[in-house]
Structure 1
């Protein structure tokens, strides 16, 4: 045995075999079949008996607070094993859609704590709105014990005036989903352990040498990521302004992948299955891992938290690399990474605004700054690649951030026009523009296609953007929100004043060795970007005197979107001033001390926001997509659609009284298989439960059918006279879209080859 394990190859084979055996055994552990059904005879009413001041139960299926105080309906207790279960509830109610007031959930019987603090099951509060009579949701049972399904009003006064009549409950064990989920969890654990064993076992010496050289860097980066991520340790999510929109994106992006779309342009499931073209107009690149996790059975909450953690990691690494290259000093790059990752507006975007696209795009701003820095410094042949990738990756996350870059970069080039027109600078800039166009064809072509054809609404927020700005004074201190749902606001932070004043001092003292005028212009531009983030009178002036320019700027919706660029410029000035000071040996230690103090100030002020998030922001659970399946009209919806339609038209519809019929046989995302019968001598139109976006196709018996947007914005399909049989309806990308994707892929391969070639040289 000792000889067997002396060979590293044998160790690897043994570990892999052991892990495979454990994965198989674990899968068999969850291979069972369970289903339970409850009727009204199986329900109880749980209520407060004022005479005894204790909660009691009696047989019943109806609950309201006028009949029995603090009452709700529950099923008989049921012993459930660990796994994922689907709960179906058929009911009647008079409630609205707010799940706080009247809801259903799966709860552990023996956990008598108010908020079920033992966390024996992951399950949302699923609303029981009056316009529906059934809901279906998933629950993750974490520990084998007794559970019951709860239905009815909230116990406190918010539940007064609501009633629920429970008709039927069905609980079904999701064997396949559970096995995939539990296998994926164990596999990820094994992968993490294998990496540790490989680094500290097989590659022990190499790992030791790496940490001897980079232990401090790794430690600071790890601290930065964990500090930015610690609110994720909550068992719930903290509510942010845009959180439900982006939770929908994760769920339905995963649904698109499951039904075979890639890239996913039309989100299936959105608007109760009618679909939504977010993938046409919103970059999804960094959301794919979270969507895949949800498809593997992880909760939506876990997928969203993973996205935040992923962006924290990438922000720290990209800023460390980019600002480190600008400063030619790894320690300066490390300090810049701390500032850029923990700067107030970024933390605000992550936890208070929940502006998923914006803080995703924020990751790549340092690459844009690095590209421009190296182009204008004539430092690297790769400079145009940094700029092109930075802009491209920004667009892959957030169109508005890219729109702002499209304003900022040309202005920057104009401010330094005498350098811009130099051949050594102009050519890399033009190469970057060409690369950006080709790299983004896959996104731009579908977006332009839909916008020009007016197939989507687009941005509708174009009025009074000055009112949506903030006072300058709020950018440097922490301002608590008037409401507690989303915590407060933190912009640039007080340390930014120190950085900007130090940079200004360096400029007027001529510390930039003959380039003070250039740096002065860039500094003035940085201040302009800060001012453009405010509720400035400048926007009202444009609104009144230059309406065309105002309408263009109004596409950014909120002036404080400029804070992304302002944050980047603050850290840029930190890096270049530190670079200037560090190169002087007699000032090196003092510079490092000053850098540490500035970083410490950033951390402390960032903590004011994070603590307020944890203490006051409204916590929500989001383990299932039942709440987010409601209709939500947004910017990439078809204009003038009727929100009530998805609630009423859930099957194929033929409105003509002709004797023709149509019925869905199977619906897989945006793909529908239906049985149609048209015994008439005329062509009839059937309406599919899909919004009528362009490029849906339909076939019957191998022949193409006409599919188009109807008067009610639904997808209409013509059924030929005398046809009886099956039809297929599906979303099919046009050839032009596929061609643009191939051009993008070819350009990416070329740029990667160029980068590797220049690095090798």
Structure 2
């Protein structure tokens, strides 16, 4: 190993480290620069007239106004002259019911004529009361991020180079070190632009990131309901849709990156994580670095994964795909290792981590993967009901449940507490949304834009399929089966062949389920439970991700046989490389076609450009609530109720109330977990669902006092949080203790040894 002192003894390295330190100190100094208001409301006339001078930086324009119309008018900033991309800004719509609106913008050069501009679009009721510009330290924070990141990467590369000079690293290890990030970068080609391709789910997920970032800035790291949604009414997205991994882009956003840059950075992060976990899983599963890289290439460059990222912007689903290889690795070990082996009972760890990552990303993917694993357990029932194997499976379920109790308990609690619009999915028939058989053999995937296969067939079809490389692996495996039919095989080859056939069988079953020929509609008509499950699936094509990981595992097993086989003109590794080259060529075509044909894209520089109602199908909206009602408005009082000193911040409202019995409907969407109380006496007040599903607080006769209404959740949710925290801490402690014991035993003589 390379010692720290050896690294620092190099004079050039010391000079480089000094330069890095100076650059970091320059960024730290910038954190203490100008903050706050730089152009006040007293200069409104100048700001909206001739304009003002500002240096390069990140700013927020703030407009004080009054209007009686929603989203008719908008405001932003402009500059008369400037270089390319001097100003990055989106206009922000103006809403009635609120009297201040912000618009973040980026100046890449110093300007002398920046002005605030309002587009009234004929809104007669619009009255401008003032404007100002504020700034923060976002520019310095972004600068520090890049300096630290680039410095770390450069230092690591130099350390690896010095280590390789001292003790040469094997070719396979070098291939993993540089090949894995290269594959991730290759799959990130469509984000190497200054915009984002418009996907069906993109705005929804950008809103999720913004809402989470906003709550973190308020000190609420694990908010259950974010107030940024639906004009301040809130939306229980975080309860129904795990957003633990959205902390990463939320932190990018807090650092100062624009929503546009934040999303592209997140996609790059996901691609890197997918590539590294795929390599780790396939390498450890099959105990061969070449097979690890082979599986990593096939999985990272999957056509369906690329489609999820750039065609659909399905953030939850493509994030969940990071962890599918962990499930494959974990269950492969459970069913192929001997139960009596020492340490076998710890085989629950990998699949439990995989399930945890999937649950926190996309619950629907967890349902699909769980369904396939239940089928696998029943298919291999003789092995499943071995005592130690069954114990490992039970531990997998139990520990996954405990680690995710903090999310699962509120999820199930709210799911059963009310009726939501996603319940209407049970009436949706999905069979017509399945793919055609031609999709399974569709190899030259283009960008594609049509998913209406029942109407348009393959014309401009979206790239849904397993791809040419996996089909090639299946063909090679069929060739092996024919060649070795009737020949004597070793025990290892017999086990591999059996595992390969099972994986191919599972993959083919799931592929068939993704087609329009699987009887989804008949199942929905047969049973209400099937109707609900099928409706929640929405698109049979979603099963392609589960099928793909089965096929990649099968391809890795075929790859082991390729390495053993004596080829006429190529080595076994050469054949693997040839298959990877096929994957690279076909995926590169898909990525390039996306760049050249996707004409819809967005450039988003401020959160205000996203809006507040990007709830897709409004699946988590309580029945009785209408989106048209979700506007900024004051509380609605019944007769006999008087209110004063009303103030609302997020999902907390304070007011002084006097009542002769009655109620107040507050502009917050009702979910189980709201509470109201008298701030002086602590007396709790009844909270129920009101008109349009607003939060309704009931008052008895003669009530007078200052009240607070806020979302608190349920006490047993906090118990579940404590259980999850204790489980994770306990597992970390056990892992550290086990590692310490293993290290402590190294070099010690065993009993009976001299």
Q: Normalization by structure 1: what TM-score?
A: 0.83
Quick one: which of 220, 238, 254 aligns to 1:261? Answer: 220
Quick one: which of 574, 581, 591 aligns to 2:555? Answer: 574
Alpha-carbon displacement from aligned partner over 1:703-751 (angstroms, at most 9, x marks no partner):
1332523321111224565565543322223221111122222222333
Quick one: which of 98, 107, 118 aligns to 2:78? Answer: 107
Q: Tell me which residue corresponds to 2:88.
A: 122
CA distance in structure 2 between the partners assigned to 1:482 and 1:152 by the alignment: 34
Q: Mapping of 1:480-629 within 5 angstroms?
A: 480-482=447-449, 488-507=462-481, 509=484, 513-515=493-495, 516-517=497-498, 519-545=500-526, 548-583=529-564, 590-617=571-598, 618-629=600-611
Task: Check if 1:448 corresponds to 2:412.
Answer: yes
CA distance in structure 2 between the partners assigned to 1:276 and 1:79 by the alignment: 40
Is the 1:695–1:733 Cα contact (8 Å) retained in structure 2?
A: yes
Alpha-carbon displacement from aligned partner over 1:441-496 (angstroms, at most 9, x marks no partner):
11111011101111644454331111222223234332554579x99434321222
Q: Tell me which residue corresponds to 2:4.
A: none
TM superposition shift of 1:664: 2.8
Is the 1:442–1:737 Cα contact (8 Å) retained in structure 2?
A: yes
Is the 2:524–2:534 Cα contact (8 Å) retained in structure 1?
A: no
Q: Tell me which residue corresponds to 2:263.
A: 304
SS at match of 1:308: helix
SS at match of 1:240: coil
Q: Mapping of 1:424-435 within 5 angstroms?
A: 424-435=388-399
Judged with a 3 Å threshold, the aligned counterparts in structure 2 of structure 1 residues 149 and 480 are, in CA distance, closer, same or farther, namely same
Is the 1:336–1:571 Cα contact (8 Å) retained in structure 2?
A: yes
Task: Check if 1:639 corresponds to 2:627.
Answer: no
CA distance in structure 2 between the partners assigned to 1:444 and 1:548 by the alignment: 20
Is the 2:640–2:662 Cα contact (8 Å) retained in structure 1?
A: no
Task: Check if 1:27 corresponds to 2:9.
Answer: no
CA distance in structure 1 between the partners assigned to 2:167 and 2:688 by the alignment: 60
Judged with a 3 Å threshold, the aligned counterparts in structure 2 of structure 1 residues 330 and 17 are, in CA distance, closer, same or farther, namely closer
Judged with a 3 Å threshold, the aligned counterparts in structure 2 of structure 1 residues 190 and 548 are, in CA distance, closer, same or farther, namely closer
Is the 2:44–2:131 Cα contact (8 Å) retained in structure 1?
A: no
Is the 1:34–1:173 Cα contact (8 Å) retained in structure 2?
A: yes
CA distance in structure 2 between the partners assigned to 1:546 and 1:588 by the alignment: 57
Alpha-carbon displacement from aligned partner over 1:617-665 (angstroms, at most 9, x marks no partner):
211122222243333552222222122333152x33323254x114433
Q: Tell me which residue corresponds to 1:655.
A: 638
Q: Tell me which residue corresponds to 1:336.
A: 295
TM superposition shift of 1:406: 1.9
Is the 1:93–1:128 Cα contact (8 Å) retained in structure 2?
A: no
Q: Mapping of 1:104-503 within 5 angstroms?
A: 104-111=75-82, 118-127=84-93, 135-145=101-111, 146-152=113-119, 163=122, 167-168=127-128, 170-175=130-135, 178-179=136-137, 181-196=138-153, 198-199=155-156, 205-206=162-163, 212-213=169-170, 214-378=173-337, 381=344, 382-454=346-418, 456-458=420-422, 460-462=424-426, 463-475=428-440, 476-477=442-443, 478=445, 480-482=447-449, 488-503=462-477
Is the 2:676–2:684 Cα contact (8 Å) retained in structure 1?
A: yes
Judged with a 3 Å threshold, the aligned counterparts in structure 2 of structure 1 residues 757 and 645 are, in CA distance, closer, same or farther, namely same
SS at match of 1:269: coil
Q: Tell me which residue corresponds to 1:691.
A: 669
Task: Check if 1:79 corresponds to 2:53.
Answer: yes
Judged with a 3 Å threshold, the aligned counterparts in structure 2 of structure 1 residues 130 and 720 are, in CA distance, closer, same or farther, namely closer
Judged with a 3 Å threshold, the aligned counterparts in structure 2 of structure 1 residues 690 and 548 are, in CA distance, closer, same or farther, namely closer
SS at match of 2:515: coil
RMSD of aligned alpha carbons: 3.5
Task: Check if 1:749 corresponds to 2:736.
Answer: no
Q: Which shifted more, 198-207 or 687-696? A: 198-207
Q: Tell me which residue corresponds to 1:64.
A: none
TM superposition shift of 1:754: 4.7
Is the 2:64–2:128 Cα contact (8 Å) retained in structure 1?
A: yes
Q: Which shifted more, 282-291 or 295-304? A: 295-304
SS at match of 1:623: coil
CA distance in structure 1 between the partners assigned to 2:273 and 2:50 by the alignment: 48
Judged with a 3 Å threshold, the aligned counterparts in structure 2 of structure 1 residues 133 and 663 are, in CA distance, closer, same or farther, namely closer
TM superposition shift of 1:194: 4.5
CA distance in structure 1 between the partners assigned to 2:31 and 2:539 by the alignment: 50
Is the 1:487–1:612 Cα contact (8 Å) retained in structure 2?
A: no
Q: May I ask how many residue pairs the two structures share in their alignment?
A: 700
Runs of at least 5 residues in structure 1 that lack an aligned partner in the other structure: 44-73, 112-116, 154-161
Task: Check if 1:731 corresponds to 2:696.
Answer: no
CA distance in structure 2 between the partners assigned to 1:321 and 1:551 by the alignment: 37
SS at match of 2:53: strand
CA distance in structure 1 between the partners assigned to 2:44 and 2:29 by the alignment: 39
Judged with a 3 Å threshold, the aligned counterparts in structure 2 of structure 1 residues 193 and 39 are, in CA distance, closer, same or farther, namely closer
CA distance in structure 2 between the partners assigned to 1:466 and 1:372 by the alignment: 30
SS at match of 1:212: coil
TM superposition shift of 1:498: 1.1
Judged with a 3 Å threshold, the aligned counterparts in structure 2 of structure 1 residues 722 and 742 are, in CA distance, closer, same or farther, namely same
Q: Which shifted more, 578-587 or 245-254? A: 578-587
CA distance in structure 2 between the partners assigned to 1:354 and 1:697 by the alignment: 36
Judged with a 3 Å threshold, the aligned counterparts in structure 2 of structure 1 residues 222 and 741 are, in CA distance, closer, same or farther, namely same
Is the 2:24–2:144 Cα contact (8 Å) retained in structure 1?
A: no
SS at match of 1:461: helix
Judged with a 3 Å threshold, the aligned counterparts in structure 2 of structure 1 residues 95 and 253 are, in CA distance, closer, same or farther, namely closer
Judged with a 3 Å threshold, the aligned counterparts in structure 2 of structure 1 residues 314 and 169 are, in CA distance, closer, same or farther, namely farther
TM superposition shift of 1:574: 1.3
TM superposition shift of 1:272: 1.0
Q: Tell me which residue corresponds to 1:157.
A: none
SS at match of 1:689: strand
Judged with a 3 Å threshold, the aligned counterparts in structure 2 of structure 1 residues 87 and 586 are, in CA distance, closer, same or farther, namely same
SS at match of 2:636: coil
CA distance in structure 2 between the partners assigned to 1:517 and 1:331 by the alignment: 22
SS at match of 1:727: strand
Judged with a 3 Å threshold, the aligned counterparts in structure 2 of structure 1 residues 469 and 95 are, in CA distance, closer, same or farther, namely farther
Judged with a 3 Å threshold, the aligned counterparts in structure 2 of structure 1 residues 42 and 468 are, in CA distance, closer, same or farther, namely farther
SS at match of 2:105: strand
